[in-house]
């Protein structure tokens, strides 16, 4: 084909269209006057315009469609002529007198269509004659359009079962033979186009061939529509002949398109019953053919077929569809030694999805696919192809999406082996996918063995060991990932204490070797999970093994101490401090005094050595006092030691108001209403007096620094503590001490006003009046206070 500029091509098309239009006009005038001779003359001249070699397929198609429209008119005229007495046989011979072969064959096909309609001769004889005569055009472009015209006018005249042109025996065979012959010749012409012109224009020719592929593919569509093409004929005749042509043409564009055409146009049932034949052709295709896409589409169609028709599932087993597909993929990969890793992974991904849809109960099939994938990946190292990595993630996600259960995926022995071929970043992504699946489906992992297998899969999130130097990880992403791991811990559960202890031990092993920056996210939920385990332990009297049991409270507390010790080095001393106090409270409930004391000791050490910020110290001291107040396990000596330390810390806070509040909070450590052994009124009073002294000192400092006496809020807060203990019946808190403090506050309030303090004091007095109205001992006690 001659390659020229688009402007010249437009000129040639315009010139051809003008000449075409002129001859079409004269042809129509001859038709209107029933002049057969002139109609043939001008139609032949009109069709001569199709002999051009100067147009691209796209432009040539424009001209061809004009011809097609005019030939439909000519066909109607030929039909009318036969009704007026013209012999169709003579007409069939007359059109062959045209001078040029291309117009002659177009006219012959048109007359042949009329010949078939008259039924004066068997359709199969005429069709055979036409398809053979069309061999006269061997120019690829002109020949393709000529045969496309033949296919178009004959598609409703094929001697198919139930057709009005059905003849005697084997008529369907004749129809199939005609279509196959036309398909074969069209494919040869289409393939030959690649050799037309210089090598430098190959890309343009490939594009042009792509525009013409539907002309060839229409033949396969016609075959699929024939009623007489049943499964037997498709298996014995149609498919072998089509595949033979596809394999023998040795053209990658034709092979890819036509194989895909077979998959798309013929019924799924036929594909299922002829899998071995279809798949047998795949390794024989050119190495450059995108067989990955073809096979993927085939498996997708079969999967959809099985999903929509549950009754056909036994046939998949009967024909051994999985084995055939698996073997075919292996042979294709073996035949194409240079196949990209992306293509191989995509094939196995499609096969796995097919297996999960068609044979969801056959985990051995799914594991076999993963094993084949591992075999293909072996020796490749870490996969660095982004698209291949993405496809591997898709492959690994398929079982999770199908079963909605990670436990099922953990049964696949080859699953973790595939994960190993992911790079560090993708392992993190895959681990996140697995955790999301667990959380979405509320999947409980109940055995230590499964937990170990799970953590091998998600080690991309819990370990620093494999991360390359210099890899920057976004902090927000990192925190989100670690929070997901923290949530995962609560899905690892077993009612049996021994098995649960094995689970938390596995978590400890992985977390403590996973790098310090992760510990502040993972240790707290691990501690909480372990504390839940302690609550489920049988009481020692109910435990038949007693201290000899393999999992005891003492053993678990030792375990807790070991994991919390890692936190101050992170550094996260505040977090470790809180966890020690939580463990101390748990030991208190288990009546383990030495252990509780040790946890408190560790908390105090952290307070003294690691917590230096004044605000953090205030918060920490509040936690110490609150926790110590709830402890009942300590004997007198240990409790005094811890309480003395707490009051000492209170007096050493930086800010006077903080000192004051911490000291009066310590008063609660010396009076517990429900425990007579901890009711020391003298020390309660001592704490409150010390708080008053500190509050007075704070006022003096405010006066010295700012020239004002400062707020009386601290005094009002202390008054409320006095009232609390007075109401509880602490004998050392007398009416006189309460009245004295109220008088002091009133004197202080005569100074510059503080609205918030005034409101606070008014509310306190209102509370006292409310208590006076009550009947009984409390009302009587408050009646004694004169405000």
Task: Count the Cβ atoms, other than its own, within 10 Å of residue 658.
Answer: 18
Task: Quote the tokens at residue 446.
Answer: 């109940």
Strand partners, 679: 671
**pLDDT for 211 beyond 70:** yes
Q: Is the bond leading into 595 cis (omega within 30 degrees of zero)? A: no
The pLDDT score that the predictor gives to residue 455 is 92
Is residue 202 very low, low, confident or very high in pLDDT (cuts 50, 70, 90)?
confident
**Cα–Cα distance between 786 and 773 in angstroms, integer?**
14
Mean pLDDT of 690-696: 93
Is residue 543 very low, low, confident or very high in pLDDT (cuts 50, 70, 90)?
very low
The answer to whether the beta carbons of residues 179 and 158 sit under 8 Å apart is yes
The DSSP code sequence of 115-152 is: HHHHTSS-HHHHHHHHHHHGGG---HHHHHHHHHHHHH
Mean pLDDT of 737-752: 81
Question: Which segment, 161-170, 378-387, 507-516, 640-649, is predicted with the most confidence on average?
Answer: 640-649
- Cα angle 83, 88, 89 (rounded to 5 degrees) comes to 155
The answer to whether the beta carbons of residues 576 and 564 sit under 8 Å apart is yes
Closest CA to 256 of 229, 282, 234, 275: 282
**pLDDT for 440 beyond 50:** yes
Long-range contacts of range 40-43, CB-CB < 8 Å, 24 or more positions apart? 40/94, 40/95, 40/97, 40/98, 40/107, 43/70, 43/71, 43/74, 43/103, 43/107
**Cα–Cα distance between 442 and 493 in angstroms, integer?**
12
Lowest-pLDDT range, 191-200, 356-365, 675-684? 191-200
Backbone angles phi, psi at 515, to 5 degrees: 100, 145
The answer to whether the beta carbons of residues 188 and 181 sit under 8 Å apart is no
* Exposed / middle / buried, residue 592 (Cβ in 10 Å: 0-12, 13-18, 19+): buried
The answer to whether the beta carbons of residues 106 and 75 sit under 8 Å apart is no
**Cα–Cα distance between 346 and 387 in angstroms, integer?**
10
DSSP character at residue 235: I
Radius of gyration of the chain (CA): 46
The pLDDT score that the predictor gives to residue 399 is 93
- In sequence order, which residues have a C-beta less than 8 Å from that of residue 780 and are 6 or more positions away? none
**pLDDT for 541 beyond 50:** no
Identify the helix (H) or strand (E) that includes residue 661.
Answer: helix 656-666
Closest CA to 275 of 241, 307, 321, 313: 321
**Cα–Cα distance between 117 and 83 in angstroms, integer?**
12
**pLDDT for 4 beyond 50:** no
The answer to whether the beta carbons of residues 412 and 372 sit under 8 Å apart is no
Backbone angles phi, psi at 492, to 5 degrees: -105, 105
Question: How would you classify residue 215: left for phi > 0, otherwise alpha for psi between -120 and 50, otherwise beta?
Answer: alpha
**pLDDT for 775 beyond 90:** no
Could you read off the pLDDT of 584-613 as tens digits, one per residue? 999 999 999 999 999 999 999 999 998 989
Could you read off the pLDDT of 227-243 as tens digits, one per residue? 989 999 999 999 999 99
**Cα–Cα distance between 599 and 608 in angstroms, integer?**
14
What percent of the chain is predicted at pLDDT more than 90?
65
Closest CA to 180 of 244, 115, 106: 244
Identify the helix (H) or strand (E) that includes residue 470.
Answer: none
Backbone angles phi, psi at 445, to 5 degrees: -100, 115
**Cα–Cα distance between 69 and 27 in angstroms, integer?**
13
The answer to whether the beta carbons of residues 586 and 534 sit under 8 Å apart is yes
The pLDDT score that the predictor gives to residue 1 is 37
Q: Is the bond leading into 571 cis (omega within 30 degrees of zero)? A: yes
The DSSP code sequence of 63-131 is: HHHHHHHHHHHHHHHHHHHHHTT--HHHHHHHGGG-SSHHHHHHHHHHHHHHHHHHTSS-HHHHHHHHH
Closest CA to 149 of 247, 63, 245: 63
Task: Count the Cβ atoms, other than its own, within 10 Å of residue 777.
Answer: 10
**Cα–Cα distance between 398 and 359 in angstroms, integer?**
13
- Answer whether 0.85 is exceeded by the pTM: no
Q: What's the mean per-residue pLDDT of the chain?
A: 89
The pLDDT score that the predictor gives to residue 21 is 94
The DSSP code sequence of 248-307 is: HH--HHHHHHHHHHHHHHS-HHHHHHTHHHHHHHGGGS-TTS-HHHHHHHHHHHHHHHHH
Classified as helix, coil or strand, 445 is: strand
**pLDDT for 763 beyond 60:** yes
The answer to whether the beta carbons of residues 444 and 499 sit under 8 Å apart is no
Q: In the chain, what is the straight-line distance between the N-terminal and C-terminal CA atoms, in Å?
A: 115
Task: Quote the tokens at residue 153.
Answer: 């006018």
The pLDDT score that the predictor gives to residue 3 is 43
Could you read off the pLDDT of 248-293 as tens digits, one per residue? 999 999 999 999 999 999 999 999 999 999 999 998 998 888 888 9
**pLDDT for 656 beyond 60:** yes
Mean pLDDT of 314-336: 90
Mean pLDDT of 537-553: 60
- For CA atoms 159, 160, 164, 166, give the dihedral sign: positive
Task: Quote the tokens at residue 409.
Answer: 């995926």
Identify the helix (H) or strand (E) that includes residue 403.
Answer: helix 386-403
**Cα–Cα distance between 165 and 119 in angstroms, integer?**
8
In the chain, count H helices and then E strands.
Answer: 39, 0
The answer to whether the beta carbons of residues 263 and 271 sit under 8 Å apart is yes
Classified as helix, coil or strand, 494 is: coil
The pLDDT score that the predictor gives to residue 709 is 55
The residue whose two tokens read 């995509």 is 346
The pLDDT score that the predictor gives to residue 768 is 92
% helix / strand / coil in the chain, to the nearest 5? 75, 0, 25
**pLDDT for 629 beyond 80:** yes
- For CA atoms 655, 657, 662, 666, give the dihedral sign: positive
**pLDDT for 467 beyond 60:** no
Is residue 570 very low, low, confident or very high in pLDDT (cuts 50, 70, 90)?
low
């Amino acid at each position: 084909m001659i390659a020229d500029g688009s402007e010249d091509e437009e000129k040639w098309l315009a010139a051809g269209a003008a000449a075409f239009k002129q001859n079409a006009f004269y042809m129509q005038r001859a038709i209107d006057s029933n002049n057969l001779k002139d109609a043939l003359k001008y139609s032949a001249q009109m069709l001569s315009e199709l002999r051009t070699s100067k147009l691209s397929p796209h432009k040539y198609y424009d001209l061809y469609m004009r011809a097609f429209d005019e030939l439909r008119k000519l066909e109607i005229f030929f039909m009318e002529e036969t009704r007026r007495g013209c012999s169709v046989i003579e007409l069939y011979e007359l059109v062959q007198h045209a001078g040029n072969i291309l117009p002659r064959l177009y006219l012959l096909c048109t007359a042949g269509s009329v010949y078939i309609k008259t039924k004066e001769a068997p359709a199969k004889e005429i069709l055979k004659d036409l398809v053979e005569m069309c061999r006269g055009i061997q120019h690829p472009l002109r020949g393709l359009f000529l045969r496309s015209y033949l296919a178009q006018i004959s598609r409703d005249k094929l001697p198919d079962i139930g057709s009005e042109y059905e003849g005697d025996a084997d008529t369907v065979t004749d129809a199939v033979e005609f279509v196959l012959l036309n398909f074969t010749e069209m494919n040869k012409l289409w393939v030959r186009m690649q050799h037309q012109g210089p090598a430098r224009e190959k890309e343009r020719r490939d594009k042009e061939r792509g525009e013409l592929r539907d002309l060839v593919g229409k033949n396969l569509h016609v075959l699929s529509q024939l009623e007489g093409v049943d499964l037997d004929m498709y298996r014995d005749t149609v498919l072998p002949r089509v595949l033979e042509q596809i394999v023998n043409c040795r053209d990658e564009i034709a092979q890819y398109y036509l194989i895909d055409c077979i998959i798309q146009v013929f019924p799924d049932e036929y594909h299922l019953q002829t899998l071995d034949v279809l798949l047998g052709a795949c390794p024989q295709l050119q190495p450059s053919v995108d067989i990955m896409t073809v096979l993927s589409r085939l498996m997708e169609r079969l999967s959809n077929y099985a999903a929509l028709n549950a009754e056909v599932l036994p046939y998949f087993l009967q024909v051994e569809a999985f084995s055939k597909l698996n073997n075919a993929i292996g042979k294709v990969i073996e035949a194409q030694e240079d196949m990209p890793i992306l293509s191989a992974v995509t094939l196995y991904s499609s096969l796995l999805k097919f297996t999960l849809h068609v044979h969801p109960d056959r985990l051995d099939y799914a594991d076999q696919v993963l094993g084949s994938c591992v075999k293909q990946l072996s020796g490749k190292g870490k996969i660095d192809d982004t698209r291949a990595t993405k496809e591997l993630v898709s492959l690994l996600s398929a079982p999770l999406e199908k079963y909605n259960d990670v436990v099922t995926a953990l049964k696949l022995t080859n699953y973790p082996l595939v994960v190993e071929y992911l790079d560090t970043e993708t392992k993190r992504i895959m681990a996140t996918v697995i955790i999301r699946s667990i959380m979405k489906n509320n999947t409980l992992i109940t055995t230590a063995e499964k937990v170990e297998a799970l953590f091998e899969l998600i080690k991309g999130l819990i370990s620093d060991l494999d991360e390359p130097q210099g890899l920057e990880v976004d902090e927000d992403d990192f925190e989100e990932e670690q929070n997901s791991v923290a949530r995962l811990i609560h899905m690892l559960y077993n009612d049996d204490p021994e098995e649960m202890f094995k689970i938390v031990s596995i978590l400890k092993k992985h977390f403590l070797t996973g790098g310090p920056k992760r510990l502040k996210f993972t240790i707290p939920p691990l501690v909480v999970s372990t504390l839940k385990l302690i609550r489920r332990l049988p009481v020692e009297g109910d435990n038949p093994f007693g201290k000899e049991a393999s999992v005891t409270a003492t053993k678990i507390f030792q375990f807790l101490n070991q994991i919390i010790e890692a936190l101050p080095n992170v550094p996260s001393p505040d977090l470790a401090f809180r966890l020690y106090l939580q463990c101390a409270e748990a030991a208190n409930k288990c009546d383990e005094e030495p252990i509780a004391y040790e946890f408190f000791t560790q908390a105090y050490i952290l307070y003294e050595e690691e917590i230096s910020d004044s605000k953090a110290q205030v918060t920490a001291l509040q936690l110490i006092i609150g926790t110590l107040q709830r402890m009942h396990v300590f004997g007198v000596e240990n409790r005094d030691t811890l309480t003395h330390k707490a009051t000492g810390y209170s007096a050493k806070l930086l800010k006077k108001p903080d000192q004051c509040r911490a000291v009066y909070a310590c008063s609660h450590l010396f009076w517990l209403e429900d425990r007579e052994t901890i009711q020391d009124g003298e020390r309660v009073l001592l704490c409150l007096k010390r708080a008053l002294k500190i509050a007075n000192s704070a006022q003096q400092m405010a006066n010295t620094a700012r020239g004002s006496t400062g707020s009386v809020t601290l005094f009002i807060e202390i008054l409320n503590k006095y009232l609390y203990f007075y109401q509880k019946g602490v004998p050392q808190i007398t009416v006189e001490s309460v009245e004295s403090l109220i008088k002091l506050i009133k004197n202080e309030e005569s100074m510059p006003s503080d609205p918030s303090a005034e409101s606070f004091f008014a509310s306190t007095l209102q509370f006292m009046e409310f208590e006076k109205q009550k009947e009984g001992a409390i009302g009587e006690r408050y009646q004694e206070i004169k405000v």
